[in-house]
Structure 1
């Protein structure tokens, strides 16, 4: 394994840890294209490795929120229990080969574009801090949980980019409380999806070390710099990263679909009888 690849994984982990620390969401959606396009892993190895790294980084970032008691149990249960079911269903579908690799990558690319759109429409930190605490429809929150869980199981992302807006807009939580709750849900969803996949990413495990070390350093920097950063500019920059990630992964999905199609032998021709 080259030093360049290890450095790339550490840098990517640092960015992901930083974003999880300052946003409470979103950084993990950059991990799958990093593992597939950057490290050249097949999707079968990249998805469980992504879930494992996301779990560890989410747990590490959730610590300060738990110490400050910035986790909302009731919305977490309303959204989290259906999300766990969705994670198990999505992971099981992938495990049994019911979702082809190009479809997995296509789902991921679509999710990244949706995340960029949500971030561009999100209110700033000052506005979300004033959000009312009265919850919205529990049914809508539970439905969002199912969708987030399916995405986690199929595409190997924590789903925080969708969890945080749901907790703010549907459950009426302020941003710090939504971020802490999101990190706890990301960790549990990723663990369930990893168990449902039933595949330990043995070939990619050497990449886990630099990813987690870089992620922890990024998290420390993010927690220190978060009070000084502009929420609006940070989200705009991250939205641009997501668009680039979606385009890269979409191109990879198209290429693998073409490779799969060309590998399928054409049916034998039947000679015409005269």
Structure 2
């Protein structure tokens, strides 16, 4: 085991700690850790990420269910279109995309390049959502559930999760607050159930069409889960808002780094 692999497993632990500390966001680092530290190609890394995100989010969802914070009915209204789309993306769409998409002169743009650039954009959007301090005082303006809007946004989340292996919490949580009238704490808790369903169904789409190193994946996931419990313990002694903002800046820097790295490869 070389130094990069050891760094990758340390990264898995840190991903879990972030998830435990601030309740989300850490999974956005799973693909970069798998690609740049573990040496896994981006397509496979997005599949592995779905598994890691799905398992860790499911644990968080169960914890919140015991606290009666999860709105199961709302979760399934959102999750149904999302997991249908993410399964189709992973089972049929992603394998059908050619490795070399197009070329401009001597520059060849590959599927791996596009995945990582799009993932970097998702990271930048996520970082902005973490850094914003806008107060959530919009619930009083919503008179009824907008299930049709939740359904449409579920489709969008399915596309993003299927393409880059990210949970899409930055889209799910605002939608639950705006259109399902959930208080922020319940929106965050409910989003974990949605993310777990989407991610694990999406990963199921990879089984059979992708060669999976189960030993590596289960070890990586186990270390992340251990980090979640460590982060949950530390969360009682840390300022969640400051941590979230600091992590937001870190995700922003990582997003810019990935963009630069991928354009340098062209």
| Displacement after TM superposition at 1:230 (Å) | 2.4
| Displacement after TM superposition at 1:255 (Å) | 4.2
Q: Deviations over 1:4-63 (max 9, x none)?
A: 344323322222222223333221111101111111211132121111222222222222
Correspondence 1:83 to 2:93 = no
Instruction: State the match for 1:170 in structure 2.
Output: 179
The match for 2:195 among 173, 186, 197 is 186
Q: How far apart are the structure 2 equivalents of 1:171 and 1:11?
A: 38
Correspondence 1:114 to 2:113 = no
Q: How far apart are the structure 2 equivalents of 1:120 and 1:234?
A: 11
- Distance of aligned partners of 1:235 and 1:118 in 2 relative to their CA distance in 1, 3 Å threshold: same
The match for 1:202 among 202, 212, 216 is 212
**Matched residue SS, 2:174:** helix
The match for 1:212 among 214, 218, 221 is 221
Instruction: State the match for 1:236 in structure 2.
Output: 245
- Distance of aligned partners of 1:32 and 1:236 in 2 relative to their CA distance in 1, 3 Å threshold: same
User: Gapped runs of 5+ residues in structure 2?
Assistant: 102-110
Instruction: State the match for 1:16 in structure 2.
Output: 15
Instruction: State the match for 2:106 in structure 1.
Output: none
**Are the aligned partners of 1:55 and 1:187 in contact in 2 as well (CA < 8 Å)?**
yes
Q: How far apart are the structure 2 equivalents of 1:254 and 1:246?
A: 12
**Are the aligned partners of 2:138 and 2:178 in contact in 1 as well (CA < 8 Å)?**
no
Q: How far apart are the structure 1 equivalents of 2:22 and 2:151?
A: 22
* Stretch moving more, 171-180 or 101-110: 171-180
Q: How far apart are the structure 2 equivalents of 1:243 and 1:79?
A: 28
**Matched residue SS, 1:60:** helix
Correspondence 1:102 to 2:101 = no
Instruction: State the match for 1:261 in structure 2.
Output: none
Q: How far apart are the structure 1 equivalents of 2:125 and 2:231?
A: 24
| Displacement after TM superposition at 1:212 (Å) | 2.3
Q: How far apart are the structure 2 equivalents of 1:223 and 1:95?
A: 37
Instruction: State the match for 2:108 in structure 1.
Output: none
| Displacement after TM superposition at 1:184 (Å) | 1.2
Instruction: State the match for 2:156 in structure 1.
Output: 147
**Are the aligned partners of 2:153 and 2:175 in contact in 1 as well (CA < 8 Å)?**
yes
**Matched residue SS, 1:150:** helix
Q: Deviations over 1:230-256 (max 9, x none)?
A: 232122112112112212322343245
- Distance of aligned partners of 1:192 and 1:30 in 2 relative to their CA distance in 1, 3 Å threshold: same
| Displacement after TM superposition at 1:76 (Å) | 0.9
User: Gapped runs of 5+ residues in structure 1?
Assistant: 259-274
**Are the aligned partners of 1:151 and 1:157 in contact in 2 as well (CA < 8 Å)?**
yes
**Are the aligned partners of 1:16 and 1:31 in contact in 2 as well (CA < 8 Å)?**
yes
**Are the aligned partners of 1:85 and 1:149 in contact in 2 as well (CA < 8 Å)?**
yes
What TM-score comes out, normalization by structure 1 length?
0.81
**Are the aligned partners of 2:43 and 2:115 in contact in 1 as well (CA < 8 Å)?**
no
Correspondence 1:70 to 2:69 = yes
Q: CA RMSD in A?
A: 2.6
**Matched residue SS, 1:70:** coil
| Displacement after TM superposition at 1:210 (Å) | 4.1
Q: How far apart are the structure 1 equivalents of 2:137 and 2:23?
A: 14
Q: Which has the larger radius of gyration?
A: 1
Which structure 1 residue ranges, 4+ long, deviate > 6 Å from structure 2? Answer: none
Instruction: State the match for 2:25 in structure 1.
Output: 26
Q: How far apart are the structure 2 equivalents of 1:114 and 1:152?
A: 14
What TM-score comes out, normalization by structure 2 length?
0.83
